[in-house]
């Protein structure tokens, strides 16, 4: 899916696609979870078509899933396919298994993140991503 949308570019600053709508189905309870996904990477000679990032999120979200694995799969796929300097993924989601059954907490949001390369190793890079992901558009 990504191979046809790789472009050689001399750009080495952070690229972020944020507020990607994500919908999936919890593999434990067979109930939906939904929310937003923020994806960032620092190119290393190649960039990916911007629309491919939400498509990649959808590919992994359309399966029975847990949020933690979904977060890791998105980040690791981008790292493997385009070999950037680093990748960061954050997912914020509401889980119907927590809202309508069990603890019945209507306003709880689960937040997961997975950082690779510069996003894991460099506090400034990670902080910039976290700040930009929180900012309202």
Distance CA 25, CA 30 (A): 6
Task: Tell me what pLDDT residue 66 has.
Answer: 96
CATH classification at residue 16: 3.30.1130.10
Single out the residue of 10, 93, 75 nearest to residue 44, CA to CA: 10
Contact 55, 64 (CB under 8 A): no
Task: Tell me what pLDDT residue 97 has.
Answer: 80
Distance CA 79, CA 25 (A): 25
Position of tokens 């790292």? 79
Render each residue's pLDDT in the chain as its tens digit; 137 residues. Answer: 666 778 888 999 999 999 999 999 999 888 999 999 999 999 999 999 999 999 999 999 999 999 999 999 999 999 999 999 999 999 999 998 887 876 777 778 999 999 999 999 999 999 999 999 998 87
Could you tell me how far CA 3 lies from the centroid of its own chain? 19
Q: How many domains does the chain have?
A: 1
Could you tell me how far CA 111 lies from the centroid of its own chain? 11
| Domain, as residue range, for 83 | 3-134
Q: Which residues are catalytic?
A: 26-29, 67, 95, 97
């Amino acid at each position: 899916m990504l191979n046809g949308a790789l472009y050689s570019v001399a750009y080495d600053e952070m690229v972020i696609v944020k507020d990607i709508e994500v919908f999936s189905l919890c593999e434990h309870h067979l109930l939906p979870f939904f929310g937003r996904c923020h994806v960032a990477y620092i190119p290393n000679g190649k960039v990916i078509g911007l629309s491919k990032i939400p498509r990649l999120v959808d590919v992994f979200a359309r399966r029975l899933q847990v949020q933690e694995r979904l977060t890791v799969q998105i980040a690791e796929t981008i790292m493997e396919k385009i070999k950037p300097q680093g990748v960061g993924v954050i997912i914020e989601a509401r889980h119907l298994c927590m809202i309508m059954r069990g603890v019945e907490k209507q306003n709880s949001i689960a937040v997961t993140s997975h950082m690779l390369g510069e996003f894991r190793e460099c506090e400034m890079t990670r902080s910039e991503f976290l700040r930009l992901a929180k900012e309202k558009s």
